[in-house]
Chain A
Amino acid sequence: MGKFLLHRVGYLVLLAMVATVVAYLLAATQLHPRSRYEGRNPAPAEAVVDQRLTELNMNDKTPLVERFGTWAKGVAHGDLGKTVDGESVNTEMSRRMWVSLRLMLIGSILGTLLGVVAGAYGAIKQRKWSDQTLTVISFVLLSVPTVVLAVLVKNAGIWFNQVSGNESTPLLFTTGEITPGMDTWSWAGIGDRVGHLVLPTIVLAIGVNGFAFYSRYQRNSMLDVLGSDFLRTAQAKGLRRWSALTRHGLRTALIPMATFFSYQFALLFVGATFTEKIFGWHGMGEYFVDSITKNDTNSTAGVTLFVAVLVLIAGLLSDVVYAALDPRVRAS
Chain B
Amino acid sequence: MTVVTDTVTDTDVVSRSVSRNRLVLRRFLSQRLAVAGVVVVLLLIALAYLGPIFYPWKYDQLDFQAFQSPPSPAHWFGTYQTGGDVFARTLRGLQKSLVIGLLGALFSTALAAAAGAFAGYFRGATDTVVRVVTDLMLVLPGFLIIAIFSSALRDGSWLLFIVLLAGFQWMITARVVRGLTQSLREREFVQAARFMGVPGWKIILRHILPNMASLLIIDATVGVSSIILAEVGLSFFGFGVQPPDVSLGTLIADGAGAALTNWWQFDFVAGVLVLLVLAVNLVGDGLRDALDPNSEIEGAK
Which A residues are closer than 8 A to B by beta carbons?
A: 11-12, 15-16, 18-19, 22-23, 26-27, 30-32, 139-140, 142-148, 151-152, 155, 158, 208, 217, 220-221, 224, 255-256, 259-260, 263, 266, 269-270, 273-274, 277-278, 288-289, 292-293, 295, 300, 303-304, 307-308, 311-312, 322
Main secondary structure of the interface of A (DSSP, over half): helix
User: Are A19 and B139 within 8 A (Cβ)?
Assistant: yes
How distant is the Cα of A12 from the Cα of B145 in the complex, in angstroms? 19
A-B CB pair tally, cutoff 8 Å: 131
How distant is the Cα of A147 from the Cα of B277 in the complex, in angstroms? 14
The total of chain B residues at the interface (CB under 8 A) is: 41
Q: With CB as the reference atom, state the residue of chain B lying closest to A307.
A: B141
* Chain A residues within an 8 Å CB radius of B273: 145, 148
Judge if B281 is at the interface, Cβ distance under 8 Å. Answer: yes
Q: How far is the CB of A328 from chain B (nearest CB, A)?
A: 11
Which B residues are closer than 8 A to A by beta carbons?
A: 135-136, 138-141, 143-145, 147-152, 172, 225, 229, 232-233, 236-239, 252, 256, 259-260, 266, 270, 273-274, 277-278, 281-282, 296-297, 299-301
Q: How far is the CB of B64 from chain A (nearest CB, A)?
A: 29
* Chain B residues within an 8 Å CB radius of A139: 278, 281-282
User: Are A300 and B144 within 8 A (Cβ)?
Assistant: yes
Indicate whether A293 sits within 8 Å of B136 (C-beta atoms), given known contacts A31-B148, A303-B144: no
User: Are B145 and A26 within 8 A (Cβ)?
Assistant: yes
Q: With CB as the reference atom, state the residue of chain B lying closest to A304.
A: B144
* Chain A residues within an 8 Å CB radius of B252: 145, 147-148
How distant is the Cα of A311 from the Cα of B259 in the complex, in angstroms? 34
Determine which of A263, A274, A288 lies in contact with B236 in the assembled complex, contact meaning CB atoms within 8 Å. A274
Q: How far is the CB of B162 from chain A (nearest CB, A)?
A: 18
* Chain B residues within an 8 Å CB radius of A151: 256, 259, 266, 270
Determine which of A18, A256, A293 lies in contact with B238 in the assembled complex, contact meaning CB atoms within 8 Å. A293
User: Are B281 and A217 within 8 A (Cβ)?
Assistant: no
User: Are B151 and A221 within 8 A (Cβ)?
Assistant: no
User: Are B149 and A15 within 8 A (Cβ)?
Assistant: no
Determine which of A208, A277, A278, A288 lies in contact with B147 in the assembled complex, contact meaning CB atoms within 8 Å. A288
Q: How far is the CB of B7 from chain A (nearest CB, A)?
A: 22
